[in-house]
Amino acid sequence: MKSILDYETVALIDEDDAIEIIDQTLLPGKTEMIRLHTGKEIWDAIYLLQVRGAPAIGVTAGFGIYLLMKHSEADSYEQFMEEFGEKSDYLNSSRPTAVNLSWALKRMESHVRKFYEEIASSNDGTVDAKNSAGDFSEKKSLIIAEMKAESERIKKEDVEVCRKIGEYGVELIKDGDGILTHCNAGQLATCKYGTATSPMYLAHEKGYKIKVYCDETRPLLQGARLTAYELQSAGIDTTLLCDNMSASLMKSGAINAIFVGCDRVAANGDAANKIGTSVVATVAKRYNVPFYVCAPTSTIDINTPTGDDIKIEQRKPEEVTEMWYKERMAPEGVKVYNPAFDVTDNELISGIVTEYGVLRAPYDEAIRKLFE
């Protein structure tokens, strides 16, 4: 029987000018693959959480900007880059908190500019050395081919990075440990392994008898619908709990470590993750449970000094008042506070697990050294 782990979270279907994704809003009841062709479809899929998780969003952005520029009718480099900027800004507006979205789009833009400089000045006969309007069509085809290659490299690197995070993270786990996680930083949030779940998958591969506890993660229930689903599919001992039950679980001694993902890490180590994460971290501090944030370096934003500088997305009130109910469960007209994320202060974080190792406090120094 095919498991959810056998599907690709994000795939480029180049011959159909499409990105194929699992529609995660339908899980776990229905596994449906959908194809995104237009900018609007890609934007909607990111905003509506049909594709979600910072790394998967980054991969989607790379494929997306390639597809949107694939059939560009620009007849000069300047026109091409102006069109690129407009479409990039549009995609980037879909989720403001997840830094991998802007990171991937900036990476694609930077690569295009660098590649263009190389081919525009080449003397090997591939293209004319002069930047004349007449020869841009040939340059454009080379640029678009290179955009495809770069977008595929982003996906390949995501798999490699998640595996490395797992290798460093599994060293923090012992056989028999109870592990708590919040939201979904699993394979469904990446292209393979996940970030927070990668150490769990590798521990399972080693034969460790771990027990994983998943917060349901209100209001969108990514922990219940996604994390519990994929971990159970992998054969890992999985228990689901409501968000307000984690404190009693930690107090009981059942939890030996906590692993969460994140959508952005500030330069000082503050980490933005799904709403409720900071509550888990605060309680973990009270009960001396180590709290680890799993983050690829693409999620670390050295241009954001602290968590106070991270823009937090506010979502529709209907997600709280009626989304999962047959009938509305809150009074009409009541005001709703519905931030998608909160920021966990760096002092609550035991370590930040990256593909280069585990960063420890003081995080501003550790992050600076990492990027140097």
Side-by-side strand order, sheet with 264-266: 300-301, 264-266, 271-274, 341-344
Mean pLDDT over residues 212-234, rounded?
96
Give the per-residue pLDDT at 232. Answer: 95
CATH 3.40.50.10470 intervals, the chain: 166-371
pLDDT digits over 8-40, tens only? 999 999 999 999 999 999 999 999 999 999 999
Per-residue pLDDT band at 130 (split at 50, 70, 90)? very low
What backbone torsions phi and psi does residue 135 show, to the nearest 5 degrees? -100, 5
Per-residue pLDDT band at 244 (split at 50, 70, 90)? very high
Cβ atoms 205, 271 nearer than 8 A = no
Which residues are CB-contacts of 253 (< 8 A; sequence separation ≥ 6)? none
CATH 1.20.120.420 intervals, the chain: 4-164
Q: Would you identify the CATH topology of the domain 4-164?
A: Four Helix Bundle (Hemerythrin (Met), subunit A) (1.20.120)
Rounded Cα distance between 161 and 190, Å, is: 10
Residue bearing tokens 């609550």? 348
Q: How many CA atoms lie within 13 A of 280 on its CB side?
A: 37
Cβ atoms 36, 66 nearer than 8 A = no
Q: Would you identify the CATH topology of the domain 166-371?
A: Rossmann fold (3.40.50)
pLDDT digits over 162-197, tens only? 999 999 999 999 999 999 999 999 999 999 999 999
CA 241 and chain centroid, separation: 23
Rounded Cα distance between 327 and 287, Å, is: 39
Cβ atoms 354, 165 nearer than 8 A = yes
Rounded Cα distance between 175 and 109, Å, is: 45
Give the per-residue pLDDT at 127. Answer: 46
Residues 239-259 as b or e (16 or more Cβ within 10 Å = b): ebbebeebbebbeeebbbbbb
List active site positions.
263
Q: Is the pLDDT of residue 148 over 60?
A: yes
Cβ atoms 339, 312 nearer than 8 A = yes
pLDDT digits over 245-300, tens only? 999 999 999 999 999 999 999 999 999 999 999 999 999 999 999 999 999 999 99
Burial category of 117 from C-beta neighbours within 10 Å (exposed 0-12, middle 13-18, buried 19 and up)? exposed
Give the per-residue pLDDT at 129. Answer: 42
Two tokens, residue 180 = 């708590």
Rounded Cα distance between 23 and 84, Å, is: 27
pTM score: 0.90
Strand stretches in 44-184, DSSP E: 178-181
CA 71, 73, 78: angle at the middle one, nearest 5?
115
For residue 21, CA distances in Å to 3, 37, 240 come to: 15, 11, 26
> For strand 178-181 and strand 10-13, is the pairing parallel, antiparallel, or unpaired?
unpaired
pLDDT > 90: what percent of the chain? Answer: 92
